[in-house]
Amino acid sequence: MTSTGAARQTDPADQERGGLVPQAAESAALQASAEAATQSRRSSFYAAMRILPAPQREAMFQIYAFCRAVDDIADEEGPLPERRIALDGWRADIDALYAGKLPRPDLAPLAQSIGSFGLAREDFVAVIDGMEMDLAESVLIPDMATLDLYCDRVASAVGRLSVRVFGVPDAHGEKLAHHLGRAFQLTNILRDIDEDGERGRLYLPRDLLTRAGITPTIEAVLASPDLGAACAPIMSAARGHFTAGAAIMDQCPRRSVKAPRIMAQAYGAILTRLAARGFKPPRVRVRTPKSQIFLALLRYGLF
């Protein structure tokens, strides 16, 4: 990172449009902004996004909409070649935006956010690379290094985009994204074991399963009464990342970390509930506790 999130850079869309937006393009941009806001309501982070000032809020909605779009490609059923082509289409769109072009009118709000907050192209590309890992099944019972790379691409890269929007100082932003991104993603992995298994996915590392005496297949893992032993190191790693993230936020201006503090409190509560529930089958899905979000909003969002 070379500047704070508040820095204003050239808007790629301005170069393409010459500062004038045709009525049809303006309508598409407005619709894209509305759709991004609507999609963001499904996110566990929606409450944290809502407290942001309008330009930051819009940027976070656009980042979330991008992530949702490429994640849906990775998750949807359908021919693998077509899904790869769809991800390649997003690569081309991102490249076009950073070349000062507007490949589609509905990407004008994303182009505006890129310019307003100096969002890095490589972070958008990293997210797409993470979705490619899902398509290639390279994170199906991976080794620890592959899992960490996956977490960096699908979560910490989103964090690196987000901290620029939040205005986290450069000295702390990348480290905060590193730790909270991994904390959130590891929590997701633990929470979604059964749902991911139904999709033919399993992100728990092979060596942890073997150490726990579990045959490294999806069927054996989901049925094992010893699953908690394999999950324990992942839970410990997530706690460590939450702790490191909290220490970094303590060093940052309060206003710049309001949103990530709310996110961290909500996800930390999920991890606590997972620990209390355990991992022996049958498992009841743990959901984001609304009470914790409300308390976090009271604590961090009002002042």
Q: How many CB atoms lie within 10 A of CB 66?
A: 22
pLDDT of residue 46: 82
Q: How many CB atoms lie within 10 A of CB 131?
A: 24
The DSSP code sequence of 159-226 is HHHHHHHHT--HHHHHHHHHHHHHHHHHHHHHHTHHHHHHTT---S-HHHHHHTT--SSHHHHHH-TT
pLDDT of residue 219: 97
What is the pTM (predicted TM-score) of this model?
0.86
Torsion of CA 140, 144, 148, 153, to 10 degrees: -30
pLDDT of residue 17: 40
Report the candidate in 153, 205, 207 with the shortest Cα–Cα distance to residue 181. 153
Question: How big is the chain, counted in residues?
Answer: 303
pLDDT of residue 27: 59
From residue 19, how far is each of 10, 16, 123, 215 by CA, in Å?
Answer: 11, 8, 27, 60
Q: How far is residue 65's CA from residue 109's CA, in Å, rounded to a whole number?
A: 11
pLDDT of residue 242: 98
The one-digit pLDDT tens for each residue of the chain (303 residues) are 333 333 334 444 444 443 435 555 555 555 555 565 555 455 567 888 989 999 999 999 999 999 999 999 999 888 999 999 999 999 999 999 999 999 999 999 999 999 999 999 999 999 999 999 999 999 999 999 999 999 999 999 999 999 999 999 999 999 999 999 999 999 999 999 999 999 999 999 999 999 999 999 999 999 999 999 999 999 999 999 999 999 999 999 999 999 999 999 999 999 999 999 999 999 999 988 777 777 777 778 655
pLDDT of residue 240: 98
